[in-house]
Chain A
Amino acid sequence: MRTETVDTLVIGGGAAGMSAAATLDSRGYSVALVERDDELGGVLLQCIHNGFGLQEFDEELTGPEYAERWIRTIGDTSIRVFCSTTIMEINLLEDGKKECFGYSSRHGVLRFLARTVVLAMGCRERNRGNIMIPGTRPAGVYTAGLAQRLVNINGYIPGKDVVIVGSGDIGLIMARRMQWVGSTVHGVIEIQPYPSGLTRNISQCLHDFKIPLYLSHIISRIHGRDRIEAVDVTPLRNGVPDYSQTFRLTCDTLLLSVGLVPENELSKQVGIELNPLTGGPLVDSMLMTNIEGVFSAGNVLHVHDLVDYVSAEARLAGEKVADYLEGKRPQREIRIKPGANVKYVNPTRIDPDGQSEIYLRPLVVSNNIYLTISLNGEVIKKQKKPHVQPSEMIKMTLTPKLFQQVEAGQEAQMEVALKDES
């Protein structure tokens, strides 16, 4: 069995993994980058629509184009890339090193000995089981991302008459894609009273094709024995299904776009503590998990809605891993917790002596709301936000100046909230 000894093992060759690996390489550290698919790029390769890269490259690129820029960057480094390889096991050795086993159709069994590990495994789709749709279990029920892969990578069209559950961006993008390959989308069913995807996607993916969007509706039953034949759609009244108003949509395909969850099976196996609010690891100001030397970035940490943010966060993780390898540690940390109208804040601790990037997810749809940061109950920063909604994460930079009043050794807690005029 071959052993690869490196400073850092990066698990996952998508947007996050490539960005973290490139940063570490530029800081002079040896990196192994492991990807379970046959090539680098991750989910970007199947996201053939445009809208990527406005922040990273100041251009509107398609997913494959965005991936290719990073793949070229990786190709110009001395990073050791292992595709078709799945990391199945991480062992913590007594000397602090991490021993990781990878299984590969191309390389056989590989053993990695690394001083640090970056978890960049991304996320996976919630499926029918997660939303418990009653009915039979016929063929023709797919998650939207799987259908996207079938159409865009493999060249199969999953069906001709489509109903989509969930108005998340992947579902909306797939509605347009299915129309453009000649299928008909008969409706998008959303349980919430407002769409969960971007307004521009509602407009260009649904309105352009006159696809009806049923807000405050659920799929109450799936019909069909071998292949799906129809679904029952039921409106909600005061949050409760009103079955007297149920109607039926005939279809041969049902696509589910009902959210994403960080893929943390490997993390759990090593004993990494997860944040119940995000589904990803709990990380400190260095994006380090509760296990010394194991870091995390991208969608495995929390689900992002822009790949540009994933690249930026993973670049930061790369810098922090390099700092860690140089023996640098924060002098002190401030804990952050989500306040009013904020679902979560990531990371959960910051270093007040350095510049930090924090990401927060709103719980509400609102115009002209104030993003308010308070320290031990006292407001230290207020920023007006013209528009917030849960599907759009807010990124914020915090500078050391904000925390001058906190004395060394003092216990401090920061709260981030979204508040109306106060």
Chain B
Amino acid sequence: MKAEHKTREMVCIVCPMGCRLTVTVKDEDVTVEGNRCQRGEIYGREEILAPKRIVTATCRLRDPAHPRLPVRTDNALPYEHIQSLLGDIYELSIETPVKAGDVLIENYKGTGISILAARSVPGD
């Protein structure tokens, strides 16, 4: 990794406490201040180096009573892939029957993250 130096203020989203973190990257060292627990340090570190989010959306479903199927990533996806993933989800068109947990897109762009159906629709 290239040597860099930056400081960012952020709010920890791990639990409702909402600790205000100051995260500093100097060369390859990351320091997290303001956290009240270990999880806050992990969050601050990930958030500044490679932020990730669970993505939930809907895609087209070929069922007259349920035109949209809710979908989710099975784990948090690196931030930079979110927009393109949403585009790909909106291109999907799923036939019934579908079951919650069915894999709709596997290992998205080699991230290891898959996109799953979030509900079952039996169809006729």
Partner-B contacts on A (CB < 8 A): 38, 45, 48-50, 60, 62-65, 67-68, 151-155, 180-181, 198-200, 202-204, 207-208, 386-387, 389, 392
Closest 3 CB pairs of A and B: A199-B18, A200-B13, A64-B119
Q: Contacts A180-B57, A208-B53 hold; do A68 and B119 have CB atoms under 8 A apart?
A: yes
Q: For chain B, what secondary structure do more than half of its interface residues adopt (helix, strand, loop), or is it mixed?
A: loop
A residues less than 8 Å from B54 (CB atoms): 50, 60
Q: Smallest CB–CB gap between A420 and chain B, Å?
A: 18
A residues less than 8 Å from B66 (CB atoms): 153
In whole angstroms, what is the CA distance A207 to B9 when docked?
12
B residues less than 8 Å from A153 (CB atoms): 66-68
Partner-A contacts on B (CB < 8 A): 10-11, 13-18, 36, 53-58, 60, 65-68, 70, 72, 86, 100, 118-120
Q: Contacts A48-B56, A62-B70, A387-B18 hold; do A199 and B118 have CB atoms under 8 A apart?
A: no
Q: For chain A, what secondary structure do more than half of its interface residues adopt (helix, strand, loop), or is it mixed?
A: helix
In whole angstroms, what is the CA distance A392 to B100 when docked?
30
A residues less than 8 Å from B14 (CB atoms): 200
Q: Smallest CB–CB gap between A82 and chain B, Å?
A: 17
A residues less than 8 Å from B18 (CB atoms): 198-200, 387
Name the CB-closest residue of B to A199: B18
A residues less than 8 Å from B16 (CB atoms): 198-200, 387, 389, 392
- Residue from A49, A155, A180, A202 within 8 A of B60 (CB atoms): A155
A residues less than 8 Å from B15 (CB atoms): 200
A-B contact pairs, 20 of them (CB 8 A): A48-B58, A49-B56, A62-B56, A62-B118, A64-B70, A65-B118, A65-B119, A67-B119, A68-B120, A152-B58, A153-B68, A154-B68, A155-B58, A155-B68, A180-B57, A198-B18, A200-B15, A200-B16, A203-B11, A389-B16
A residues less than 8 Å from B70 (CB atoms): 48, 62-64, 152
- A38 contacts B11, CB within 8 Å? no
Q: Contacts A38-B65, A50-B54 hold; do A203 and B13 have CB atoms under 8 A apart?
A: yes
A residues less than 8 Å from B60 (CB atoms): 155
B residues less than 8 Å from A60 (CB atoms): 54
Further contacts, 19 of them, CB under 8 A, given A200-B13, A200-B15:
A48-B57, A62-B118, A65-B118, A68-B120, A154-B67, A155-B68, A180-B55, A180-B86, A199-B18, A200-B11, A200-B14, A200-B16, A200-B18, A203-B11, A208-B53, A386-B17, A387-B16, A387-B17, A389-B16
A residues less than 8 Å from B68 (CB atoms): 152-155
In whole angstroms, what is the CA distance A198 to B17 when docked?
9
In whole angstroms, what is the CA distance A64 to B72 when docked?
11
Q: Smallest CB–CB gap between B90 and chain A, Å?
A: 8
- B56 contacts A50, CB within 8 Å? yes
Name the CB-closest residue of B to A204: B13
Q: Smallest CB–CB gap between B73 and chain A, Å?
A: 9
